[in-house]
Amino acid sequence: MSTGAPGSFADPRTHAGAGGDAGAGAVAGHWIDAVYRVRAAAAGIGARAQAIALEQSIEAPLAAVRDERVLREVVAQVGDIAPAGARDFDVTIRIAVETTGFEAGQLLNMLFGNTSLHDDVTLVDAVFPAEFAQGFGGPAFGIAGIRALTGAAGRPLTCSALKPQGLPSQELAKIARTFALAGIDVIKDDHGLADQAVAPFGQRVREVQRAVDEANRATGGHSVYAACLSGHYARMREQVAIAEDCGVRMFLVAPMIAGVAALAALAREANAPIIAHPALAGAARIAPPLLLGRLFRMFGADATIFPHAGGRFGYSGDVCNAIAAAAREPWHGLASTLPVPAGGMSVERVPEICAQFGADTMLLVGGSLLAARERLAERCRDFVTAVHGEAR
Amino acid sequence: MSTGAPGSFADPRTHAGAGGDAGAGAVAGHWIDAVYRVRAAAAGIGARAQAIALEQSIEAPLAAVRDERVLREVVAQVGDIAPAGARDFDVTIRIAVETTGFEAGQLLNMLFGNTSLHDDVTLVDAVFPAEFAQGFGGPAFGIAGIRALTGAAGRPLTCSALKPQGLPSQELAKIARTFALAGIDVIKDDHGLADQAVAPFGQRVREVQRAVDEANRATGGHSVYAACLSGHYARMREQVAIAEDCGVRMFLVAPMIAGVAALAALAREANAPIIAHPALAGAARIAPPLLLGRLFRMFGADATIFPHAGGRFGYSGDVCNAIAAAAREPWHGLASTLPVPAGGMSVERVPEICAQFGADTMLLVGGSLLAARERLAERCRDFVTAVHGEAR
């Protein structure tokens, strides 16, 4: 009996050549190609790759598998192993789609569940069969749906956030009214607004939606309020029902806190676009373009917020471009997801951000508007004017 | 107007001394003390700490806050800043409990939501007011409840996992039968068993529970099957109902995939102990003793699986001891959570593991038992005998 070497499932002797010839399991649409960047010495990368393949599929040594079908069609297979810089390798692991049960949480489990506990590995990419991605359905509204809802055509959209948390609902509603009067397209709850006592969810969404509605009537505009959902999925569904009764037509969800299964279900059920927030996304270990771009899109996010370069977070301009590309590029016929650069943006950066991302983008400027204090309305108008001006 | 320096909310000039004197907000039970290990130069750590305090509370520059109560009672405050090695500091941030809405997901959001996106910071600890932890309730069964259910008194418990995924339900049931006949206390689904076509949840739990029941009748034993729940919270509740109808009396949940809110709700509702699985816990960024030990315990995990030292994962023996301590030590009157060292354990290591963790532990040996193939039953008996022998 072999229990495998300590620290590894790897036993390359018994699995040689599996990556090269997938045999009967290699039917179209059978595999997801996941790419991991692995820090390893050249001499050990083959065994490390095989260990990842086992960890992310059957979670057992090959010696424990007696079933021929499991060996052929269920055990993940090692594909390409390519050097990536001096100390890393990019390892492609072919994961059987059947192991995901076609469910969002289980897909994340199969892509990175146990391997997230290994600090020598980052999940950098995943290539899905078309019918697999289509099975999830992607954004129900997407960029076109958000444009239709806000009446914003042919230009970048504008967005700001209701904060700070701790204010009572009426005070948040006043800020929302100022945003809406200035013509900001999407007014979202700060992702820290949950169901706190000082501004309970039901009271807050009623007050804020009313303020936005009144401002829209005054201006003839179409500002949309996006309410932040929190708690488990059943609680979120209750919140959706409460909010929709108040006329709310857009929602904010943090999928890595809520669980991606909740995002996937809400995207199919809520009759409103959903903005994904990156909280707890721990981007150092799953590549942001994959997680915030492609995966959140596949699970149904209509817009995806990401920390843009030059703000409070360390993402590079290239990473941000890659997130936007993953969100928007044609992909298996799914609707596009609206990229939302954020995280310390300012009105002064509007021309540069618009130049980088083009029209199919929503600019989110939050705290720096509120820092204008009594000149908030003026600063909001500057923001809107700057973005609209870029489209001319 | 100030929008703060690029890359930071920090503006220490306007918030000096906030950590030293919390003023009217400093009532007992008002604050959670979260500790972050931050990589920073000594000259910059004060500003970086203040930036974290703002990011993890109001997510806006202080200049944006006009409300006195928010400044005093809602904005997180910088506490101790202590050197931790040559390049790091341990920064204590006092987070207002009211910002959590007393909800598990929102608590995680306030502890590490946006800051998880900064790769210079790890969340290493959090100290909660007693009434805050008690509000979540902790494990409904805990170690005592799991002992009562399995009839395992005064010795470490044994656990193994049904795998590999890809086997049909009947084959998984046969393995479960072998485990139960050998007297293994807890027989859990592999965390990769979700609701796949080859072994659908309802069919699988019926077949496996029946096999375990039959074996228990034959031996007079009390082996318990723990079924793996997946999908969003509402789906998990359906699975609990299906499984309880089949007589299932224990469940496995991966809180970082399911969402911690789902764990917290299930712990209050399911009439069965819940084992937490660390999948997607990305332990490099939240200290494992905090996440797998204290937080999962507070949210209601009755047992917590962690990758033990010397197995397939890189956790040190000290980290594992700290996880076990956080799970078991007296804490705000909450029931203890059963520590479950796992991740590449073997029968040969039983004496050492028992010596390290003592009686209030469950040893999980999975793949290395299955690797015995046709001698699986014998190997299971060796496992059970070894653990029972350690208690004598």
Summarised one tens digit per residue, pLDDT across range B122-159 is 888 899 899 998 998 889 999 999 999 999 998 899 99
What value does the mean pLDDT of chain B take? 88
Tell me, rounded to whole angstroms, the distance of Cα A84 from its chain centroid: 25
| Closest Cβ opposite residue A259 in set B106, B262, B285 | B262
Place of tokens 């995207």: A267
CATH fold, domain A142-390, is: TIM Barrel (3.20.20)
Residues of chain B with CATH 3.30.70.150: 12-127
Q: CATH assignment of B12-127?
A: 3.30.70.150
Walk along chain A (392 residues) in steps of 10 and give the mean pLDDT of each run.
40 35 52 94 95 93 91 96 95 97 94 87 89 90 93 91 95 95 94 95 98 97 96 97 97 93 93 91 72 86 90 87 94 91 91 94 88 89 92 62
The strands making up A77-84's β-sheet, listed across from edge to edge, are A77-84, A88-96, A31-39, A121-127
Note whether A305 contacts B: Cβ–Cβ < 8 A. no
Note whether A310 contacts B: Cβ–Cβ < 8 A. yes
Note whether A169 contacts B: Cβ–Cβ < 8 A. no
Supply the pLDDT for residue A208. 98
Convert the pLDDT of each residue in B248-269 to its tens digit.
999 999 999 999 999 999 999 9
- Taking CB atoms and an 8 Å limit, are A166 and B257 in contact across chains? no
Note whether B25 contacts A: Cβ–Cβ < 8 A. no
Sequence-ordered list of residues with C-beta below 8 angstroms from that of A2, at least 6 positions apart, any chain: A11, A61, A63, B371
Place of tokens 């010839």: A21
- Distances A268 to A198, B66, B305 between C-alpha atoms, Å: 31, 40, 33
Return the SS3 of A246: coil
Nearest chain A residue to B238, by CA: A234
As a whole number, mean pLDDT of residues B90-98 equals 97
Supply the pLDDT for residue A270. 85
Supply the pLDDT for residue A241. 97
- How far apart CA A206 and CA A211 sit, in angstroms, is 9
Residues of chain A with CATH 3.20.20.110: 142-390
- Taking CB atoms and an 8 Å limit, are B64 and A371 in contact across chains? yes
First to last CA, chain B: 72
Strand partners, A342: A307
Q: Mutating which of A117, A160, A190, A348 best tests the B interface, going by the most B Cβ atoms within 10 A? A: A117
